[in-house]
Amino acid sequence: GAVVSQHPSRVICKSGTSVKIECRSLDFQATTMFWYRQFPKQSLMLMATSNEGSKATYEQGVEKDKFLINHASLTLSTLTVTSAHPEDSSFYICSAKGQGWGETQYFGPGTRLLVL
Amino acid sequence: QKEVEQDPGPLSVPEGAIVSLNCTYSNSAFQYFMWYRQYSRKGPELLMYTYSSGNKEDGRFTAQVDKSSKYISLFIRDSQPSDSATYLCAMTARGNEKLTFGTGTRLTIIP
């Protein structure tokens, strides 16, 4: 149980375009989903927290207009990188938490974004 | 000072050895402790989840929490080459949804 998927696993796009990344909880209802960014050989950096049906809470320094998060249902959250630039190239990972699970988060496999 | 300190390694040990991974923390409110394993270019995988002080064992893995010393450990017995990965400790306080991560320790098991 507790499987989280992400799609796509890799994406290459041109500078200025927008990219959407999907995060799904496959076998549970995720009351809260989280989006992280990870640079090579570094730990995870939390970007935002989202609860189903409400606006995401962004961490300090994360541009909410650039990184649009939609948590449309209890099994789906999306991250859209708008007007992507080469500095947005990174590894994006989502995680999800189910109700009554304490504070455990289960992570997706990650999406590698390369902006040319 | 970071809230969670973890030696980044790299740590190399021979196959079959016992591996000890550790994290220290400064926030006494932390009560929930997790260990994640992350293979290169993959998302973190939950290995162990413990609440408050004590030990928890699952197969070859044992997690220890010493709240008085603000110190947590993960032991891997009979280490295998497939255990080669980065190990992240994570922790949080009651009612706090966000996890605070260590920097991760890169572990290599030498066949």
Structure confidence at residue B92 (pLDDT)? 93
Note whether A107 contacts B: Cβ–Cβ < 8 A: yes
Q: How far apart are the first and last CA of chain B?
A: 37
In order of A115, B6, B46, B83, B104, the CA distances from B10 in angstroms are 30, 11, 21, 14, 10
Average predicted confidence (pLDDT) for chain A: 93
**Which has more pLDDT, A71 or A103?**
A71
B2 reaches A (C-beta below 8 A)? no
- Of A43, A91, A103, nearest to B102 by CB-CB distance is A43
CA B52/CA B58 separation, integer angstroms: 17
Instruction: Check pLDDT > 70 for residue B94.
Output: yes
Q: Which residue has the higher pLDDT, A31 or B102?
A: B102
Average pLDDT of span A3-18:
96
pLDDT band at A7 (very low <50, low <70, confident <90, very high): very high
Q: What is the pLDDT of residue B4?
A: 95
Nearest to A97 by CA among A46, A51, A45, A48: A51
Task: Share the mean pLDDT of chain B.
Answer: 94
State residue A1's pLDDT score.
Answer: 64
**Token pair 């992350």 in the structure block, residue:** B38
Instruction: Express each pLDDT in B21-66 by its tens digit.
Output: 999 999 999 999 999 999 999 999 999 999 878 899 999 999 999 9
Query: How far, in Å, CA of B46 to CA of B27, rounded?
Result: 22
C-alpha gyration radius of chain A: 13
Residues A7/B52, Cβ–Cβ less than 8 Å: no
CB B83 within 8 A of CB B21: no
Helix (H) or strand (E) holding A72: strand A67-73
- Count A/B contacts: CB-CB distance under 8 Å: 54
Q: What is the mean pLDDT of residues B90-99?
A: 90
- Greater model confidence, B106 or B52: B106
Q: Which pLDDT belongs to residue B84?
A: 98
Cα B91 to Cα B93: distance, rounded to the nearest angstrom:
7
- The answer, for B98 touching chain A at a CB cutoff of 8 Å, is yes
Confidence of residue B12 (pLDDT cuts 50, 70, 90): very high
Nearest residue in chain A measured CA to CA from B93: A103
